[in-house]
Structure 1
Amino acid sequence: MSKNTIKVRFAPSPTGELHLGGARTALFNWLFAQRQNGSFFLRIEDTDKERSKTQYTEQIIDSMKWLGLNWKTPVVYQSGRTERYKHYLNILFKNDLCYRCFCSKDELQQSKVDGHFLYPGTCRNLSEHEIKTKLNQGITFTIRIKIGSGKTMFNDLVYGKNVTDHNELDDFIIIRSDGTPTYNFSVVVDDYEMEISHVIRGDDHLSNTSKQIIIYRALGLKPPQFAHLPMILGPDKKRLSKRHGAPGVQSFADQGYFPDGLLNYLALLGWNPKNDDEIFSLTQLSNKFSLKQVQKKGAIWDEQKLHWISGQHMMQKSSKFILDQVRAINPEWGKGSDIAVLIRILDLMKPRCKSLKEVISLSEPFFISPVVFNDGEKARAWPNQKTASNLIGCLKKLEQIAFWNAQQIESEIKQYVSTKSFSLGKIIMPLRLALFGSLNGPSVYDIIEILGKKEVNKRINFALETFSNI
């Protein structure tokens, strides 16, 4: 590997869907590679046979594609690299740097009860005869690396100098009893053979790093540089998890969020742009990203902030683009309406929505007459029968409009109110409720224009009949 070659990887385990913390790690690796003109790889760490599932592998890959975090092919699967792990294990055996451990789980537990919180090295100095006898007896074993005295030091690109005294470590397991490599061993072999220059991952792996450097040195290999990212925390300042209601990446895709909005928010969880800017495209992020601006303090998940950022990205999209995306989710949306009308509806709804599913649900009153009304909103908008008489007068005024557009509609309604003894709100609220079924929504004048005179007449009369008993 040449000195200036930057290679990074995202290496999830397919034991569940891609979660937000994993997506943020993938993003930071991808941004770093883009900024440094390097390469970004995807590696599936599927050596845990019991927990690894093909469905999760497929879901992770689909989520990465949806996010737009493209990697240099092919995808690397640890499950297909067994012979490479054996090769490096043989090097350790050849140099007497690892050994078989025949201790059972019960024996290890008893050792802890006896006060040995670290593995005491019971099998470290077994003779060849003792080893052969145990093998002939069919006793299962793990393989442990031999750790000498001293300290392991490295400079983390986020957290700075890190020192681990070997007295704090035991001869940890590198090969399980079923013959599969542990995380710490396989990741060293893979990162070396993939020529990974920088390992960028969550700070929950800080404690693994010294162990991995020990393996690198035992194999005579040069370790990569390390950068550990702060955890994403829930509102209670504990690691973000499902109990905080945090969905996986697939959930955001299913709800019709735009990936650039989610990536924008994830980038701000631990990375500081050094100014007040908050809205970034993926290209802008890759041009600005630096590990020097990654913070050590855990970032707190703020769903409202995510919604705001997603809404900002929604507003940046053209309504024609949003229409195509909505139709991809729901081909029946707006069916029978002119494209110009649908574009107008989307122009009105964009500032109010954070996802495509929300566009679909909140725009429904443009296509379906409201028949059910919230009691609280009804009480606010339609307090008594005087409201009905006011609305009847307004409807007569609307029926006389020759040039049906929002500007003319607004002018006529305001002129009507000016001749009465009530405020504009006394007519706007019942109008909005009757026409849109809710007191929330875009401008009532725009709603009236889009619905058209005939539909407006029908909906107001339905409301008058429905609320006649108030």
Structure 2
Amino acid sequence: MTLTTRFAPSPTGYLHVGGARTALYSWLYAKKNGGEFVLRIEDTDLERSTQESVDAILEGMNWLGLDWTQGPFYQTKRFDRYKEVIQQLLDAGHAYRCYCTPEEVDQMREEQKVRGEKPRYNGLWRDRTDHPEDKPFVIRFKNPLEGTVVIEDLIKGRIEISNTELDDLIIARSDGTPTYNLTVVVDDWDMKMTHVIRGDDHINNTPRQMNILAALGASIPQYAHVPMILGDDGKRLSKRHGAVSVMQYRDEGYLPEALLNYLVRLGWSHGDEEIFSKEQMLELFDLSGCNRAPSAFNTEKLQWLNQHYMRSLPAEYVAEHLAWHMQQAGLNTEHGPALTDVIAIQADRVKTLKEMAQISEYFYADFDALDEKAAKKHLRPVAQQPLEVVRDKLAALTDWTVEAIQAAIHGTAEELEVGMGKVGMPLRVAVTGGGNSPSLDVTLVLIEKDKVVERINRAIAFIEARAAE
């Protein structure tokens, strides 16, 4: 039998990082073992499921490069199949009609609490045949009353649950729609699932699903429950921790390679190694290397990985992602230096592509105002002569090269017998609008000579205006 895994999100929101990690582990396990990776959209919650959420999930999967070999399958398209299996369970005596109202079940549980018992449905209609007419009912699965369910979990190890701990769960609501535990079982059965890798918040569902599979005579997949992800503060990861949507990380300027690398290490390890390409993940990943304890999110480590990939991946590839951030910032990169050249001088200076776009605006657009602090410090009357001299030297250049620009700046300092800072800092503020940039020669060479001269003239005018005040 072909090894088959699946990722089965509910389209009630974006693709969050916990789901993305589950998808990654399932994808890696299937790919490494030459298996099938199924994408299934569990959209039976009609009130909360939206097409917008479906699109967000698909967008996140595509951005991460987690391609599926089957699907996407939608549970809302399979209602006839679910009804067929529910009837099969009824006919075989593994399910029954329950006519208890929600209020009666609530009262049942309250009375159990008073007696110090575990609140649960008590099986009132389990063996009754005096079915009332024209009264709504749900369908419940007849869970075994004895024995235990054993999960040989591939991450957490052996887990045993007594059937006495499980009640007869509802598999069809009063309107006939199937419930989660039923649809998952039917899908995993029909799609020949061999391995189910999912968050450990599903551990309580697993014995129930195994019992339904056994009642259907279906093969039971192997389960691997991945511990939850905690925030930097040690609490369960949630919206309050900031970016938890996969596409929000894209918006914040992270490369998909950085997020994938971070997520694979967030609960799995291979020695002390921290950096893994997708090819290395496929070679090395195994469920036996997954941790049993929760993992804590560390934003600084993600930023470190992102910086590594901005520097080490081919500049042409990084430029494709940077172009999107430039567009978001309203910058037209058709006129100006190649993005690959910008990456070469800026990648060491930032942690994200969004930051790179922000500090690179002066390459593609004129600035309306100078940085106030930098201008006050460096564009003083004493800076006017150095700017005029360096402007003339730069304007006279016939070769706009790093070497020629560097020679012009050094020549100005020597001619005026001043330190390089007396020339360089005013020039930097004049051309970039602020006090920070890469080395001036590699910065200026990426800006047209006429534009550099024009900006120096504006800075000189600024100094003269300030002096006349």
Corresponding residue to 1:433 among 429, 433, 452: 429
CA shift for structure 1 position 157: 0.9
Distance (whole Å) between structure 1 residues aligned to residue 248 and residue 38 of structure 2: 24
Q: Secondary structure at the match of 1:186?
A: helix
Q: 1:293 to 1:261 in 2, by over 3 A?
A: same
Distance (whole Å) between structure 1 residues aligned to residue 335 and residue 372 of structure 2: 32
- Greater shift, 361-370 or 290-299, is seen at 361-370
Counterpart residue number, 1:219:
216
Query: Structure 1 residue 306 and structure 2 residue 307: aligned?
Result: no
Q: Secondary structure at the match of 1:170?
A: coil
Corresponding residue to 2:171 among 168, 171, 174: 174
Distance (whole Å) between structure 2 residues aligned to residue 346 and residue 185 of structure 1: 52
CA shift for structure 1 position 27: 0.8
Q: Secondary structure at the match of 2:204?
A: helix
Query: Sequence identity, in percent?
Result: 36
Structure 2 counterparts to residues 40-79 of structure 1, below 5 A? 40-79=37-76
Q: 1:426 to 1:142 in 2, by over 3 A?
A: farther
Corresponding residue to 1:290 among 262, 273, 286: 286
CA shift for structure 1 position 118: 2.4
Q: Secondary structure at the match of 1:9?
A: strand
Counterpart residue number, 1:123:
124
Q: Secondary structure at the match of 1:138?
A: coil
Counterpart residue number, 1:334:
333
CA shift for structure 1 position 411: 4.0
Distance (whole Å) between structure 2 residues aligned to residue 76 and residue 346 of structure 1: 40
Distance (whole Å) between structure 2 residues aligned to residue 120 and residue 400 of structure 1: 89
Distance (whole Å) between structure 1 residues aligned to residue 433 and residue 164 of structure 2: 70
Structure 2 counterparts to residues 152-191 of structure 1, below 5 A? 152-191=149-188
- Greater shift, 34-43 or 358-367, is seen at 358-367
Q: Secondary structure at the match of 1:112?
A: helix
| CA shift digits 1:11-64 (9 cap, x unpaired) | 111111211111111111111111111111111111112112223223322322
Q: Is the 8 A contact 1:373 1:437 kept in 2?
A: yes
1:250 corresponds to which letter in structure 2? M
Distance (whole Å) between structure 2 residues aligned to residue 77 and residue 148 of structure 1: 34
2:359 corresponds to which letter in structure 1? L
| CA shift digits 1:73-113 (9 cap, x unpaired) | 33222222223323332333233332222222222222232
Distance (whole Å) between structure 1 residues aligned to residue 126 and residue 277 of structure 2: 58
2:46 corresponds to which letter in structure 1? K
Q: Secondary structure at the match of 1:464?
A: helix
Corresponding residue to 1:24 among 18, 21, 25: 21
Q: TM-score, normalised by structure 2?
A: 0.87
Counterpart residue number, 2:140:
143
Q: Is the 8 A contact 2:37 2:70 kept in 1?
A: no
Cα RMSD after superposing both structures: 2.9
Distance (whole Å) between structure 1 residues aligned to residue 259 and residue 240 of structure 2: 20
Query: Structure 1 residue 446 and structure 2 residue 442: aligned?
Result: yes
- Greater shift, 458-467 or 37-46, is seen at 458-467
CA shift for structure 1 position 122: 4.8
Counterpart residue number, 1:265:
262
Distance (whole Å) between structure 2 residues aligned to residue 171 and residue 203 of structure 1: 22
Q: TM-score, normalised by structure 1?
A: 0.87
Distance (whole Å) between structure 1 residues aligned to residue 164 and residue 319 of structure 2: 63
| CA shift digits 1:173-202 (9 cap, x unpaired) | 222222222222221121122111110011
CA shift for structure 1 position 248: 1.9
**Tell me, which stretches of 5 or more residues in structure 1 are unaligned?**
none
Q: 1:281 to 1:453 in 2, by over 3 A?
A: same
Counterpart residue number, 1:275:
272
2:218 corresponds to which letter in structure 1? L
Q: Is the 8 A contact 1:315 1:350 kept in 2?
A: yes
- Greater shift, 244-253 or 66-75, is seen at 244-253
Q: Secondary structure at the match of 2:270?
A: coil
Counterpart residue number, 2:103:
106
Q: Is the 8 A contact 1:164 1:210 kept in 2?
A: yes
- Greater shift, 189-198 or 349-358, is seen at 349-358
Q: Is the 8 A contact 1:14 1:44 kept in 2?
A: yes
Q: Is the 8 A contact 2:412 2:423 kept in 1?
A: no
**Tell me, which stretches of 5 or more residues in structure 2 are unaligned?**
none
- Greater shift, 294-303 or 398-407, is seen at 398-407
CA shift for structure 1 position 353: 5.3
Distance (whole Å) between structure 2 residues aligned to residue 111 and residue 359 of structure 1: 61
Q: Secondary structure at the match of 1:99?
A: strand
Q: Is the 8 A contact 1:12 1:45 kept in 2?
A: yes
